[in-house]
Amino acid sequence: MSTPTHRADSPALVPDADWWREATVYQIYPRSFADANGDGIGDLRGIISRVPYLAELGIDAVWLSPFYPSALADGGYDVDDPRDVDPRIGTLAEFDELSARLHEAGIRLIVDIVPNHSSDRHVWFREALAAGRGSAARERYILREGRGEHGELPPSDWESVFGGPAWERVEDGQWYLHTFATEQPDLNWDHPEVREDYHRTLRFWADRGVDGFRVDVAHSLVKDLSEPLPSAAELAAMPQDGTHPLWDRDEVHEVYAGWRSVFEEYTPPRTAVAEAWVASPERRARYASPAGLGQAFNFDLLEADFDAADFRRIITDNLAQSARTGSSSTWVLSNHDVVRHATRYGLPPLAGRREKQGASWLVAGGPEEGIDRELGLRRARAASLLELALPGSAYLYQGEELGLHEVAEIPDAERQDPAFWRTTPEDRGFDGLGRDGTRVPLPWTREGSSYGFGEGPAHLPQPEWFADVSVEAQEEDPSSTLSMYRRALRLRRELEGPEELTWDEELSGGDVLAFERPGGWLCVTNCGEQPVAMPAGEVLLVSTPGLDPAAPVTELPGSSTAWLRH
Give me the residues that bind ligand BGC (CB under 6 A), please. 74-75, 77, 114, 180, 216-217, 275, 336-337
Q: Minimum Å distance from CB 419 to ligand BGC?
A: 8
CB closer to ligand BGC out of 419 and 522: 419
CB closer to ligand BGC out of 40 and 185: 185
Strand partners, 117: 186
Residues 518 and 180: their CA atoms lie apart, in Å, by 44
Q: Minimum Å distance from CB 181 to ligand BGC?
A: 8
CB closer to ligand BGC out of 217 and 484: 217
The C-alpha R_g of the chain, in whole angstroms, comes to: 23
Residues 156 and 122: their CA atoms lie apart, in Å, by 25
524: Cβ contacts below 8 Å, ≥ 6 apart: 504, 507, 512, 513, 514, 534, 535, 556, 561, 562, 564
Backbone phi, then psi, for 125, in 5-degree steps? -70, -40
Catalytic residue among 39, 145, 265, 500: 265
Q: Helices 481-495 & 373-389, crossing angle to 10 degrees?
A: 20
Q: Minimum Å distance from CB 33 to ligand BGC?
A: 16
| Closest residue to ligand BGC: CB criterion | 77
Q: Minimum Å distance from CB 118 to ligand BGC?
A: 11
CB atoms closer than 10 angstroms to residue 95? 26
CB atoms closer than 10 angstroms to residue 432? 24
Check if 265 is active-site. Answer: yes
Residues 323 and 304: their CA atoms lie apart, in Å, by 22
CB closer to ligand BGC out of 263 and 361: 361
What Cα–Cα distance (Å) separates residue 59 from each residue in 27, 105, 301, 308, 492?
10, 10, 20, 27, 10
CB closer to ligand BGC out of 168 and 337: 337
CB closer to ligand BGC out of 217 and 410: 217
Q: Minimum Å distance from CB 216 to ligand BGC?
A: 5
Q: Minimum Å distance from CB 82 to ligand BGC?
A: 12
Beta strand 512-517 with 521-526 is antiparallel
Catalytic residue among 74, 216, 248, 516: 216
SS3 347: coil
SS3 420: helix
Active site residue ranges: 216, 265
